[in-house]
Amino acid sequence: MLGNSVCKDPKLVEANDFLFSGLHIAGNTTNPVGSRVTPVFAAQLPGLNTLGISMARVDIAPWGVNPPHSHPRATEIFTVLEGTLEVGFITSNPENRHSRKVLQKGDVFVFPIDSQNPGAITIGNAVFGAAPEIASEVLIKSFKLDKTTNYLLSKF
């Protein structure tokens, strides 16, 4: 087993383990954030297991967002095929420096690390939708919020 993926017996490997079909299909962006991710990780494409790579298609509607998130085990290379898109990342503590760019069609931006199972942590869901809940007193102090915290918690 590597990461979350079981290594397949080499005698049982077949051509379909190295094929994924579906990135030509646009994701449905009619949702609250206006975006849809179509992942191609080891779970969808077993041939990626042990290679340290993965990919995804991200469709974003006009004014949609891909909510702030992190991939704790992955480098991300982002290519814009159509439109323009603001992207960025924040360095780790203590600097928390925001590096951002507006990308045009054909531009490529890299978010550093590596893995065939990148994981994804959506910041809002992780913090405000944690189970069991993070105490509102902790969130109020951590994010310098007030009673708005209870409203935010109700959304997750």
Q: What share of the chain is helix, strand, coil (3-state, %, to 5)?
A: 20, 25, 55
End-to-end CA distance of the chain: 33
76 is in an annotated binding site: yes
CA distances from 128 to 73, 136, 141 (A): 22, 9, 14
What whole-number distance in Å separates Cα of residue 156 and Cα of residue 151?
Answer: 9
Q: Report the alpha-carbon distance of residue 52 to residue 123 in Å, rounded.
A: 24
Helix (H, G, I), strand (E, B) or coil at 70: strand
Q: In sequence order, what are the beta bridge partners of 70? A: 121
Asked if residue 69 belongs to a known ligand binding site, the reply is: yes
Please indicate if the annotation marks 71 as binding a ligand: yes
Say whether 2 sits in a helix, a strand or coil. Answer: strand
DSSP code for 131: S
Residue stretches of the annotated binding site for Mn(2+): 69, 71, 76
Residue stretches of the annotated binding site: 66, 69, 71, 76
Residue stretches of the annotated binding site for oxalate: 66, 71, 76
